[in-house]
Amino acid sequence: MFGGRPEIAARSPGRINVIGEHVDYQEGLVLPAAIDRYVFAHARRIDAPQLRLWSAEIGGRPVTVGIGHSEPLTGSDFWANYVFGVFAQYRDAGHPVGGLEITFEATLPAGAGMSSSAAIEAATALAVETAGGFSLPARDRALLCQRADHDYVGVPCGIMDQLAVNSGVAGHLLEIDCRSLGVTPTSLPDGLSLVAVDSKVKHTLADGEYGKRRADCEAAAGQLGLPTLRDATLAQIDAAAAALGGRVARRARHVVREIARVREFIAALQAGNAGDAGQRMFDSHASLRDDYEVSCDELDQLVAIAASHGALGSRLMGGGFGGSTINLVRSAEADAFAADVIADYAECCGIEGSAFVVHPVAGAGAQKEVAS
């Protein structure tokens, strides 16, 4: 695209989330893992004070933006905010940055609830750090990428995705406490596997709905006199239900119960009770559907189909309104399960979904290539 060899190669994985949905921005507990689907960035330093950006996924002409620019990009350049926003955060924090050409490619599908946004941010971050000859700890990089999302993309996301893709550990799930930002790697017991199923639908309703859910939670916490819902109890919510109003009370109940479910899921797995753990995933889905109202017909169908094929647990993952489900199954049955779910989904919904067995991988990384 730019007529030269890249000198830096960076990549970031996407993520799945086993349980703990729509709780990260309330300082809750989550259980994601980085996965072997990636966004790749190839970069080269240039003398011009510009970023020149091109994505194979988007196509079209490259986006060019001055390195001193400070406004979010609009129109058909909007996608580049995930990149430029990260660059601008490094610049504004006083890190050494300069002109760059960067191209992007991906094996991680966009809009599938597997954090392609956090992945393009992390790949960019690693490219910028490598070009500048510095390196931030994964946690600081995650926080910087989250700020880029808030300030340039305009999504008030939590920290789960950025922490997961930056802190992944091969073969492990990550228990993340979104209050302390502590990340504890943990493994699935032998004999159990996770299967991600992409519904291939994305309802545009999602735009703005995420922020509304977050605002409802903040209203509930404020009413209860708490900084977030992390320490709220169901008794407190019930007592304040009239003042909160039906919708806000339901949102708050989801958050409180979902945080409890993460603890219960982990305890059940440790006790060797995969059935109990899986039930928490089904319960999570029901709560996201009924109380949090972020599901859709296709995701509900996928969960029902998964149950009919013997999944121990199944639920939507990510922001919702489309995207993917995550399913807990016996490893011996994982491949057949994936094929059966896709076949039934095509029959019921007329959509060709896709499914794969999850292999957790290490977080984002970069290398400086030796020019030949």
Q: Site map for ligand GLA, 289-318, x if CB under 6 A? A: -----------------------------x
Nearer to ligand GLA, 278 or 319 (CB): 319
Nearer to ligand GLA, 164 or 269 (CB): 164
Min CB(227)–ligand GLA separation in Å: 17
From 99-107, 128-136, 154-162, 329-337, span contacting ligand GLA (CB under 6 A)? 154-162
Q: Site map for ligand GLA, 98-137, x if CB under 6 A? A: ----------------------------------------
Residue 147 touching ligand GLA (CB under 6 A): no
Min CB(320)–ligand GLA separation in Å: 7
Kindly tell me which residue out of 12, 13, 18, 25 binds ligand GLA, with binding defined by CB under 6 A. Answer: 25
Kindly tell me which residue out of 13, 14, 278, 319 binds ligand GLA, with binding defined by CB under 6 A. Answer: 319
161: annotated active-site residue: yes
Residue 22 touching ligand GLA (CB under 6 A): yes
Rg (CA), the chain: 21
Q: Is the Cβ–Cβ distance between 319 and 113 less than 8 Å?
A: yes
> Which residue's C-beta sits nearest to ligand GLA?
158
Residue 157 touching ligand GLA (CB under 6 A): yes
Number of residues that bind ligand GLA (CB under 6 A): 10
Residue 85 touching ligand GLA (CB under 6 A): no
Nearer to ligand GLA, 118 or 334 (CB): 118
As a three-state string, the secondary structure of the chain is CCCCCCCEEEEEEEEEECCCCCCHHHCCEECEEEEEEEEEEEEEECCCCEEEEEECCCCCCCEEEECCCCCCCCHHHHHHHHHHHHHHHHHHCCCCCCCEEEEEEECCCCCCCCCHHHHHHHHHHHHHHHHHCCCCCHHHHHHHHHHHHHHHHCCCCCCHHHHHHHHCCCCCEEEEECCCCEEEEECCCCCEEEEEEEEEEECCCHHHHHHHHHHHHHHHHHHHCCCCHHHCCHHHHHHCHHHHCHHHHHHHHHHHHHHHHHHHHHHHHHCCCHHHHHHHHHHHHHHHHHCCCCCCHHHHHHHHHHHHCCCCEEEEECCCCEEEEEEEEEHHHHHHHHHHHHHHHHHHHCCCCEEEECCECCCCEEEECCCC
Residue 160 touching ligand GLA (CB under 6 A): yes
Kindly tell me which residue out of 13, 85, 158, 313 binds ligand GLA, with binding defined by CB under 6 A. Answer: 158
Min CB(160)–ligand GLA separation in Å: 5
Kindly tell me which residue out of 27, 77, 121, 161 binds ligand GLA, with binding defined by CB under 6 A. Answer: 161
Q: Which of 24, 161, 216, 344 is catalytic?
A: 161
Question: CA-CA distances (angstroms) from residue 284 to 47, 268, 302, 314?
Answer: 51, 15, 14, 9
Residue 24 touching ligand GLA (CB under 6 A): yes
Binding site for ligand GLA (CB under 6 A): 21-22, 24-25, 157-158, 160-161, 318-319
Residues with a catalytic annotation lie at 161
